[in-house]
Amino acid sequence: MLMSEGGGSEPSIRARLKAAWDKRMPRKIKVKLYETVVRPVILYGLETCALTKKEERLLVTKDMWMLRRIMGVTLRDRKRGEDIRKELKVCNIIERIRESRLRSFGNLERAQSGQPAKDMTVEGNRGRGRQRIWWKDNIKRDLRELNLTMELVGNRKEW
């Protein structure tokens, strides 16, 4: 391990970071690292969050930034995000969040009455002004975009 004059380990950390994205490292390994280490950290717990369009855009932007780094492509190369994802065989991060959110919703809807998560309700009215987005609003939007109905929730295989 490298040490600086002041006793810190910054040179060692910089060397490790440089080695982590070495250009000689095969792209396949970078993608595997990204999917198994980085993406789960980003996605952890997002199935229960009420994401706004702005937050979704931020997630997509950062996700694409990392994928472009893996490929060695800059914005000036004008390569489309869809093409990058297709080449790296990585799905859109919002689709992954939607999938896990709908899975959680399906599990919640199929839960037996009397379980704590099933019986939770939000009391009161929404206040004046622009309404804050709720988790149920995300679910409704997901169902609408995927042309799904609430009747499918009971059938686990179709859901």
Cα dihedral 46, 52, 56, 59 sign: negative
Identify the CA nearest to 133 among candidates 123, 144, 124, 141.
141
Query: In b/e form, how buried is each residue of 76-93, taking b as 16+ CB within 10 angstroms?
Result: eeeeeeeebbeebebeeb
**What does the pLDDT profile of the chain (159 residues) look like in tens digits?**
554 555 556 676 777 666 666 677 888 888 998 899 888 988 888 888 888 888 889 999 999 999 998 888 888 999 999 999 999 999 999 999 988 888 888 888 777 666 665 555 667 776 788 777 778 888 888 888 888 887 777 776 666
Q: Would you call 51 exposed, middle or buried from its count of C-beta atoms within 10 A (0-12, 13-18, 19+)? A: buried
Segments making up each domain of the chain, as ranges: 13-111+134-154
What's the confidence (pLDDT) of residue 158?
67
Residue type, 98: R
Predicted TM-score (pTM) of the model is 0.70
